[in-house]
Amino acid sequence: MQPDVARAAVTAPEPCPNCGAVLPVAPVPRYCWQCGQDTLRIVPPLRRRARDAVDRYVRTLVALIARPGRLTEEYIANRRERYLPPLRLYLTASFLFFLIVKVLGATGSIHVVVAPMVDNHGHAVTATSNPAAYQAEMAKMHACVDHPGSCSWGRTLASRIALAGDAQSSHPEVVAQRMIARAPNAVFMLLPVFAALLMLAYRRRRYGYATHFVFSLHMHAFWFLALLVLWQLPPVALPIGVLMLAAHAWRALQRVYGGRWWVTLGRAGLVVSFYLLALAATVVGLSIASVIVT
């Protein structure tokens, strides 16, 4: 990129305005060698900045969608400036996803069913299946919470959750709203888990954790955008969509980590299985948190 304005002749060493590093007199470098700041004291025209930003977004999106794994590959090869940084890409996609879900889909409601015990036949006792037994058990749980130390800590915790669930069972829409509000943080917490699983699956590769994390950011960014599309598909087309998603992930793994295609398939299966377990645990935790935290 050529500077728009010719630099005035400089006769004495000029420190970098940003970090104070002394820069050579001639030729004055385009960027500070220490902090990387632009040495031209001009603000680029808005139009050019906007055009550059749009170019960057489009290039990033095309690579993300049409060339699985390309963004991570480019990141590893140190070609980074032409694309959005991985974390910003992730945050943009996740923001977009949860915004659209909130605007279009937050009308759902989640029914809380509390089953504090099972009967002699192994069936869960709920407020509708056996009201008398349910009420008796809830009374015991009340006693447990009201008299600290009278039950084990596990039983006390279970009682707290059951009582909170019982109180929330008449407000299914509130629980759904709280879950949606907490979901972005929950998914964010799963990013390092996904990266750790990749690191385990590919522990013989020379990549450090940071590289697996970048791959994790790129994959999740894609999944957020893909979910927005999958969500709109008729149920008949859903299996095809899920299959395409799996093919995309497999191709991305192949491009970034290499290896035989069937080994990649096996590794992807392992990573996805454990990841789904973590996801399920997170959803359960999220549901409990949505019920008890007011």
Cβ count near 239 (within 10 Å): 10
Is 277 a binding residue for Zn ion by CB under 5 A? The answer is no
Part in contact with Zn ion (CB under 5 A); list of ranges 17-25, 115-123, 148-156, 170-178:
17-25
Cβ at position 29, least distance to Zn ion in Å:
10
Give the CA angle between residues 72, 73, 76 to the nearest 5°.
Answer: 85
Binding mask 212-241 for Zn ion (x = CB under 5 A): ------------------------------
Q: Which of 4, 13, 14, 21 binds Zn ion (CB under 5 A)?
A: 21
Part in contact with Zn ion (CB under 5 A); list of ranges 36-44, 79-87, 153-161, 253-261:
36-44
Q: Which of 14, 24, 28, 34 binds Zn ion (CB under 5 A)?
A: 34
Is 13 a binding residue for Zn ion by CB under 5 A? The answer is no
Cβ at position 81, least distance to Zn ion in Å:
17
Cβ count near 8 (within 10 Å): 6
Residue 17 or 239 having the CB closest to Zn ion:
17
| Residue 242: partners with Cβ closer than 8 Å, 6 or more residues away | 230
Part in contact with Zn ion (CB under 5 A); list of ranges 25-33, 109-117, 150-158, 272-280:
25-33
| Residue 92: partners with Cβ closer than 8 Å, 6 or more residues away | 84, 221
- Measured CA to CA, the distance from residue 239 to residue 236 in angstroms comes to 7
| Residue 102: partners with Cβ closer than 8 Å, 6 or more residues away | 180
* 215 within 8 A of 198, measured Cβ to Cβ: yes
In a 3-state reduction of DSSP, which class is residue 15?
strand
Q: State the number of binding residues for Zn ion (CB under 5 A).
A: 8
Cβ at position 39, least distance to Zn ion in Å:
8
Is 18 a binding residue for Zn ion by CB under 5 A? The answer is yes
Q: Which of 10, 25, 28, 35 binds Zn ion (CB under 5 A)?
A: 35
Is 22 a binding residue for Zn ion by CB under 5 A? The answer is no
Is 19 a binding residue for Zn ion by CB under 5 A? The answer is yes
* 206 within 8 A of 77, measured Cβ to Cβ: no
Residue 17 or 266 having the CB closest to Zn ion:
17
Structure tokens at 181: 């509000």
Part in contact with Zn ion (CB under 5 A); list of ranges 20-28, 54-62, 106-114, 256-264:
20-28
- Measured CA to CA, the distance from residue 293 to residue 289 in angstroms comes to 6
Residue 21 or 270 having the CB closest to Zn ion:
21
Cβ at position 16, least distance to Zn ion in Å:
3
* 204 within 8 A of 218, measured Cβ to Cβ: no
Residue 19 or 58 having the CB closest to Zn ion:
19
Is 32 a binding residue for Zn ion by CB under 5 A? The answer is yes
Is 28 a binding residue for Zn ion by CB under 5 A? The answer is no
In a 3-state reduction of DSSP, which class is residue 27?
coil
Which is nearest to 130 in space by CA: 113, 143, 144? 113
Q: How many helices (H) and strands (E) does the chain have?
A: 9, 2
In 180-253 the beta strands, taken as DSSP E runs, fall at none
Footprint of Zn ion (CB under 5 A): 16, 18-19, 21, 32, 34-35, 37
